[in-house]
Each structure stands twice: as structure tokens, then as C-alpha cells.
Amino acid sequence: MRLPQLLLRLVLVLTSAAQPACADDAVDQATKKKRVATAKSVAFFESRIRPVLVKHCYGCHSTDSGTAEGGLRVDSRKAIQAGGKRGPAVVPGNPKASWLLKAVSHSGSRLKMPPKQKRLPDSVIADLTAWIKVGAPDPREDKRTKRPDIPKADRTHWAYQPPRNPETPTVAGKAWGKSDVDHFILAKLEMNRMAPSPDAEPQVLLRRLHFDVVGLPPSPAAIERFRRRIVAEDWDAALAAEVDELLASPRFGEKWGRHWLDVARFGESSGGEANISFPHAWRYRDYVIDCLNADTPFNRFLLEQIAGDLLPYKDQSERVRLLIATGFLAIGPKNLDEANPRQFRADLVDEQIDAVTRSVMATSVACARCHDHKFDPFSTQDYYALAGIFSSTRTYFGTAVSPANRVAGDPLPLPRVDGLKIFHRSIPAKRVAALKAELAGMQKEKDKGMVAVRKAIAQGRDPTGIFTLRDALRIFWRSGAIEGQLEKVDESGNAIPLAMGTLDRDTVGDSPLLERGDVAHPAKLVPRGFPEVIKIDESFAIEGDQSGRLQLARWLTHRKHPLTSRVIVNRVWSHLFGAGLVRTVDNFGATGERPSHPGLLDRLAVRFVQNGWSIKRLVREIVLCRTYRQASTFDRRAFQRDPDNRLLWRASKRRLMAESIRDAMLAVSDELDSSRPEASLVGRVIGDRPISLIGLDKRVPADLDGSVHRSVYLPVIRDRLPDALELFDFAEPSLVSGRRDTTNVPVQALYLMNSPFVQKQAAALASRLARETRTNDGRVDAAFMLCFGRAPDAEERQWSLGFLNRRATGDAGGADAKQRVLASFCQAMLCTAEFRNLD
């Protein structure tokens, strides 16, 4: 048998062990993926498409406006697809046939929309195109046939009620449970005449536990230690000791910090057409990891991120940490091509409202920017009450004006403290003076030129050539570049530490309600405050000279807030079981799903607050319950009753997140550097510049990887992620993402077979096996223990040894050839489904 054929056979044998037990499982996964995809598509419509239609189209094509020019209305799914005199405005899946796209693109037709306005930005047209391509998902129903909107006064929705602490259910199988968590699960199973699955094998449970808690596979030493503990102690004590060691590891913060970074829409560039890097975003990333490792109470964690700059501090080091924490509000995507400052500011505020409400409350008040929320009880009054808070906040994101960027976002200077890294250079004091003089000269030139233009106009003379657009742009861009340099240094030219973050503005105040969200149509002022549907019996009055962010943060983290504790508990549960008790982890509103076990969700939420908002204690409680220990064994009868496993009658098979797949390869090859790298590739090498230019820098790896540190430290550049992350369903860094998609597509297999990174780790694993073991038998055993946490079965051993021994007695090859064969075997191990999946 030729080598490639033998390798293929080996991969097939190894892969088969990790496949779903029957075709029904595959159907189950397909249904889940379709449901998640639908929810995300609707969320995309609400955040990117509906606001555009409301702002630019509803004025002439809606029921509310009383007009339908050309016979077209675009305010419902049925109406926009039916179209008008020209035909369907939107044809799902077919952008070329959609008249709406032709009109807004100004693509040769006389029909150009919106009328008498400039063509919409390319980013908006790209969003419309993408929306139509995926089938134009649209939850809007025709006002003339739909039921009345949910009334604002309706406070009966389950998520807006304070969590209660229900009685622990009585169950028949009392001996099975290890905690009251198990009693809630077992009660539902018994109610449906079902039973839990047997416990997983020790090595299966240990592998699941290590990946869930620290994101890395258990080492052979850890596997042996666990085996000895089980022999010396009982199961419960052995498992508790293992969990406590993992929770104390600094690797915990790297794994669970990444979960929060998904929610926080962490990114190191602005995204969009300009896509300018954020060289200081890494400080926020490290802050999050440190907080998770220190088990900072979750309510304090939120308080610091929303209003850290407004909290008291004992010394300058704490002040630095609190300022960095507010990077949460600054790291979101930004349209740096926006020419209208008022529009940019309104969009920035909108993004912050969306990020805060989705991340903390799992519901978005931002949907009420243009109109009262169509499904949840949030009004435009609620929206602009929050808008006043964030428009009274100054956001520092550190981008300088340039030909590629119209919007300056000053960096936030930090106090100087020991150990605070700075990666930009100092400049000579003489250079500082020269730059200031040049800046002053250009400002003088601009002022003089504008005066001359006004004078010429007033005298009836032609102002052409006095002060041209070219002159204005030259001064605008050069001034921006100079200001960008001066913001990085002090008066003597010494580089100063910088961050992304927020401070209250010098002048704060309420926001006007913008009619249909249009900055050109401000109406009455709306007093700063919080959504009225959630009532807490405590005053959170906002003083006239305060933005209100601190009061907002305290309102969100109040122990009686009905959403905050429930949402984070549900997210933690989702990461440990593959689905939340509320499956729509980012949507607790009327269009989200109800909890499968409402009593358990409330019990966990109440106890989470009582236990000091400790994430580590919550994780410990859940992973030590009997429910978590179950095997993933398939049972046809149970599957027919509960195909989605909502009753948790077994452990759900799960694919590892992208970071864990890459980290596991580095771990088994013994190449992983567990230290924290300095800054990130963006902060250390790329700096502040357009992402389109980084390909010209030889210091930047083509795949943006080139590192053997943990994957949480890889650069997160919007629209240009490292292959290892992008191909395996990394969270979209421009959106709040409490749960990632899981796909299984051919390009992933191609990456595993052809990626230089995978090949390098396979070679390193081969070298490790050759170094630590002497025989092929030993190498097969060691490879299976490293990669899968178990010994090979008889068939796997037979094929593995057959492959490795192929050249052992041949006359061609030698040591190098044998090592290449071993590397091929190792790559086959890394390519298997079992390597990247949890049982």
C-alpha cells in the first residue's frame, strides 16, 4: 500500500471513533445550526438594515408616512418583497434582481435612491447585499394585518421579573444527584419518563473538564495524577481536587477571559472601509484576563468597565487599571469614513448602548433608536434617556486623522507607574517644538485663507484660487498627523503610556430625541435615565454635572436587577454544556426562547449573587454536579423524546472553540509558550495605521500568527483574522457574541492538511515522541495519550503500527525518512475529529 493511501486509511480509522452515534445526531446538529443562523440573520437585520430603511426610505415608502411612491412600501417583509411598479424591491437570495439594491447603488439606472442625496456609503450597500444574499430575513409584519405591538406597560415577561429562589424539587432517584442542580435536572427528566445517562469514563470526563476550565488538554502527568486520586480517594474528592487546581491556574483567566472578550466585541481595529488599527486595545484584553484569574466579583467587573474612571482609587496603579477597564466602551467598531461629526457621534453612542444592553441584559435597547421596540417594552424615550448618558461621555480610541481616516479619536493618557509598557517611541524636545510651530502655522494659514474667501464673497469677487479644497485637505491631513504624534509624548518628547477608554465630558446634558433616528431632526430633550420596564426600589438620581454612567453601572449591577445575574449564569452554563438554559443566550426578550429549567436558572442566579458574584464558584458548582459528569452515549428512545437534549439526558458532543484547537496542537507538540507576550502584534509591531498597509511590513506574518503563545493573544483585527481563528468559527468581533456558531466545512479539512502551522506542530510532536519514547509501540501509546487522553484500541493500534513500521525494514529512507513518516502519523492525529471534539 502506498504511503498516501495508508495515511488516508489511518485518518479514517481515527476519525470514526469521534463521529456521532447515528444519523439522527447529524440532523440534530443541522437543526441547531439553522436555528442559530436564523437568529443571527435577524439580529443583523435589526442592527444594520432596519435603521437604514427607516432613515432613508420610510419617509416616502411606508404606512406611517402615508405615501407609497411608485406603489412601493418597504416597512414590512411582505411589502418590500412584493415591490411596486418596477417589480420586487427585494428578491431573497438574488441581489441582482432586487430593485432596492439597484436604486441605492446608482448602477446605471435613472432610478437613484434616496432621491436628491449622495449615494449611500459602500459599507451600507455591502450590508444590504449581504442581507439579500442570505435570504433577506425580516421579522417585520404588515401593520394592516399584524397583531398590536406588545404594549410598553406589559411587565409580565419572565425575564423582567426578579429571580426567585424556588424550593428544590422532590425526585424519586435521590441517590443520583450530587447537588440541588441535579435535582432540578432529574425532576424534569422524571416528569418526562426519562433517565440520565451513566457517568462518563474518567479519562473522558477529565479531558472535558480541562478543556472547559482552562482550554487545554490534560497532560499525561495530569491523567496519571487523576487516576491515582480516584484509587486513593472517592470520585467526588478526586474530582473536586482536580477542579480546584484548574481554577487556581492562570490558564483559567485566558480561557474564560476569551468568553467575555466575545461578549465585549473585542477588536484591535475599527473595521469598515477605513479599518484603522487600535494599538492600545491589548491593555483591555489583559485587564479582562487578570480579572477572571483574580475572580473579581462580576458586579465589580461590570462597574469598572462601564464607569471605572468615575470610581475612587487608592493609588496610581489602581487608577491605571480602572481607566483601562473603560476600554470596554471604546473598542467597538467605528465608521471612520463618516464625514458628518454629529452622525459619527450618534452612531458611536448607539453602538455603546447596544453593547452595554446586549452584553449585560441580553436584550438590545438600541432597536428603539428610530421607533419604539417592536417586540420588547423599550421605547424611544428609553433609548434617548441612555443616549444622554453616553453622549455626555468622551470616548478615547486613539486614531489620528490621515488620508485613510477622517475621524480623530484621541488616545487616553495613563499615569506613569512602574511596569507599564510603552511601544511607541519618544521624540527629541526640539522635534516637539518644531511640530507645534508647524501646527500653529497651518492653523494660521487656514484662518487667513478662510477670512480671505469670506471677504472676496462679501465684495462680490470670485474666491476661486484664494483658499482651495486642496489647501484645506492638505492642512486637515497634515494637522491630524502632527496631532497624532504630539498625543503620544509629553512636553519633553518622552513617550507616555496610552490606552482606550472613557471620561466624562466637561459639559454633560440630556440628549434630544431624534425623529426616526435622524441627526438632522432633533426634537425634545429626554432626561437621562434607564429603561422604565425594569423597576428597582432604590434611587439612582443623576446629578446635573454627571454623565450618569456610574448610576447606570450601579443600576445594572444591583442585586435586584432581574437580568444581569440571570444572563451571566446562563452564559456560563452554555459554555459548560454547549447550550444555555435559555438557548438564545444573547436574547432574553420576547423573541428569545424561554428557559428550559426556569427554576434552576433562578436558583443559580440568586446563589450567584449570594456567593459574592464569583465566576469561579459558579463554574465549580456546575462542573461538580452529576449532570456534568454524564456520558454522551446516544439513546434512540431518549433522542426521539428530546432530540435537542434540552432536558440534559446526556452530555452533548461539542467541538472545541478555535483557540482550544490551536492551543491543543501547541500543547501536545510541547511548543506552547504559556507566558504572556508583550502587548499584541498590533500594539507591538503594527501600531496605528490602516490595516490595508500591513501586508507591506515584513515583520507581520502573512497569516497574522507566527506565535507559540496561547491563542487569546493572537491579533483580533476586524475583517482580517488569523486563519486558525477565522476558519473555526471565531466570534464576529464587531458584535456581542455570547455563543459562537459551529460549522463543519471542507475548508477546515484543507487547513488541517495544508497549513504550515499544523504541519510544523505535527513535526514538533513527532520530535517529542522520538525524544521521549524508543519504540513505535511506545510512540503510538504516547501519541494517543497526548492527543486524546486515552490508550488506542486494537484496531487503532494495528493501523498505526502498520503505518509507522512501513519503512522500518525497507532499504530506502533512513532516520530522516522515518521521522517524516512519524510526522505524517502525527498530522493524522491532529486532523482527527476526536482531537477537536469533546465527548
Lowest model confidence (mean pLDDT) among 112-126, 290-304, 628-642, 783-797: 112-126
- Positions of E strands within 494-642: 498-499, 501-504, 511-514, 522-526
334 close to 409: Cβ distance less than 8 angstroms: yes
Q: Is the pLDDT of residue 70 over 80?
A: no
C-alpha distances in Å from residue 173, one per residue of 144, 170, 284, 600 = 54, 9, 47, 18
662 close to 233: Cβ distance less than 8 angstroms: no
Residue-level length of the chain:
839
pLDDT value of residue 292: 98
CA 603/CA 92 separation, integer angstroms: 44
pLDDT value of residue 144: 40
Helix spans in 66-157 (H): 77-82, 99-105, 122-133
C-alpha distances in Å from residue 166, one per residue of 159, 193, 515, 759 = 16, 23, 45, 54
Buried b (16+ CB within 10 A) or exposed e, 394-403: bbbbbbbbbe
Mean pLDDT of 94-119: 76
CA 582/CA 566 separation, integer angstroms: 10
Q: Is the pLDDT of residue 39 over 70?
A: no
Lowest model confidence (mean pLDDT) among 55-69, 150-164, 786-800: 55-69
pLDDT value of residue 493: 93
CA 109/CA 101 separation, integer angstroms: 11
In the chain, % helix, strand, coil (3-state, to 5) comes to 50, 5, 45
Q: Is the pLDDT of residue 8 over 80?
A: no
The pLDDT tens digits of the residues spanning 242-278 come to 999 999 999 999 999 999 999 999 999 999 888 999 9
Q: Is the four-CA dihedral 445, 447, 450, 455 of positive or negative sign?
A: negative
Q: Please spell the DSSP secondary structure of 729-796, one letter per residue.
A: T---TTS--SS------HHHHHHHHH-HHHHHHHHHHHHHHHHH-SSHHHHHHHHHHHHHSS---HHH
Q: Is the pLDDT of residue 722 over 60?
A: yes
pLDDT value of residue 11: 56
Q: Tally Cβ neighbours within 10 Å of residue 101.
A: 20
Residue 114, preceding bond cis, omega within 30 degrees?
yes
Q: Is the pLDDT of residue 34 over 70?
A: no
Average model confidence (pLDDT) for the chain? 89
3-class SS letters over 439-493? HHHHHHHHHHHHHHHHHHHHCCCCCCCCCCHHHHHHHHHHHHHHHHHHCCECCCC
C-alpha distances in Å from residue 645, one per residue of 291, 581, 641, 648 = 33, 11, 9, 5
Q: What is the pTM of this model?
A: 0.84
Maximum mean pLDDT: which of 38-52, 365-379, 810-824: 365-379
Rg of the chain over Cα atoms, rounded to whole angstroms, equals: 29
Q: Is the pLDDT of residue 116 over 90?
A: no
Lowest model confidence (mean pLDDT) among 39-43, 405-409, 573-577, 619-623: 39-43
CA 550/CA 423 separation, integer angstroms: 32
Mean pLDDT of 484-500: 93
List 837's β-bridge partners, or say none.
Answer: 655
- Positions of E strands within 602-693: 654-655
When pLDDT is cut at 50, 70 and 90, the band that residue 16 belongs to is very low
Q: Tally Cβ neighbours within 10 Å of residue 190.
A: 16
Q: Tally Cβ neighbours within 10 Å of residue 64.
A: 12
Q: Is the pLDDT of residue 112 over 80?
A: no
When pLDDT is cut at 50, 70 and 90, the band that residue 714 belongs to is very high
In the chain, the amino acid numbered 254 is E
363 close to 591: Cβ distance less than 8 angstroms: no
Lowest model confidence (mean pLDDT) among 118-127, 260-269, 425-434: 118-127
Nearest to 524 by CA among 368, 388, 341: 388
Lowest model confidence (mean pLDDT) among 66-75, 498-507, 703-712, 789-798: 66-75
Q: What percent of the chain has pLDDT over 90?
A: 66
Q: What percent of the chain has pLDDT over 70?
A: 91
Q: Is 236 exposed, middle or buried (0-12, 13-18, 19+ CB in 10 A)?
A: exposed
Place of cell 507591538: 684
Lowest model confidence (mean pLDDT) among 351-355, 802-806, 834-838: 802-806
3-state secondary structure of 221: helix
3-state secondary structure of 648: coil
615 close to 294: Cβ distance less than 8 angstroms: no
The pLDDT tens digits of the residues spanning 732-765 come to 999 999 999 999 999 999 999 999 999 999 999 9
Place of cell 415608502: 61
- Cβ partners under 8 Å of residue 232, min gap 6: 238
pLDDT value of residue 661: 98
C-alpha cell at 462: 470670485
CA 261/CA 284 separation, integer angstroms: 9
When pLDDT is cut at 50, 70 and 90, the band that residue 811 belongs to is very low
566 close to 601: Cβ distance less than 8 angstroms: yes
CA 417/CA 731 separation, integer angstroms: 34
The pLDDT tens digits of the residues spanning 659-689 come to 999 999 999 999 999 999 999 999 999 988 8
When pLDDT is cut at 50, 70 and 90, the band that residue 625 belongs to is very high
Question: How far, in whole angstroms, is CA 734 from its chain's centroid?
Answer: 7
Higher pLDDT, 644 or 472: 644
When pLDDT is cut at 50, 70 and 90, the band that residue 64 belongs to is low
- Cβ partners under 8 Å of residue 512, min gap 6: 384, 522, 523, 524, 525, 526
Nearest to 11 by CA among 805, 836, 824, 746: 824
C-alpha cell at 204: 473522558
803 close to 792: Cβ distance less than 8 angstroms: no
Q: Which helix (H) or strand (E) holds 318?
A: helix 316-325
Place of cell 452622525: 343
347 close to 391: Cβ distance less than 8 angstroms: no
Q: Is 618 exposed, middle or buried (0-12, 13-18, 19+ CB in 10 A)?
A: buried
393 close to 502: Cβ distance less than 8 angstroms: yes
CA 135/CA 92 separation, integer angstroms: 4
Diameter over CA atoms, the chain: 100
C-alpha cell at 620: 465549580
Mean pLDDT of 703-730: 94
Lowest model confidence (mean pLDDT) among 247-256, 470-479, 514-523, 593-602: 470-479
pLDDT value of residue 9: 56
**Bridge-based pairing state of the strands 412-413 and 393-396:** unpaired
pLDDT value of residue 37: 55
When pLDDT is cut at 50, 70 and 90, the band that residue 442 belongs to is confident
In the chain, the amino acid numbered 715 is P
Nearest to 711 by CA among 753, 684, 672: 672
Mean pLDDT of 126-151: 69
- Cβ partners under 8 Å of residue 572, min gap 6: 615, 618, 619, 622
Buried b (16+ CB within 10 A) or exposed e, 251-261: bbbbbbbbbbb
List 673's β-bridge partners, or say none.
Answer: 709
59 close to 141: Cβ distance less than 8 angstroms: no
The pLDDT tens digits of the residues spanning 168-198 come to 999 998 899 999 999 999 999 999 999 999 9
C-alpha distances in Å from residue 160, one per residue of 163, 600, 606, 612, 686 = 9, 17, 15, 22, 45
- Cβ partners under 8 Å of residue 146, min gap 6: none
Higher pLDDT, 84 or 469: 469
List 520's β-bridge partners, or say none.
Answer: none
Place of cell 432540578: 184
3-state secondary structure of 114: coil
3-state secondary structure of 502: strand
Place of cell 435586584: 560
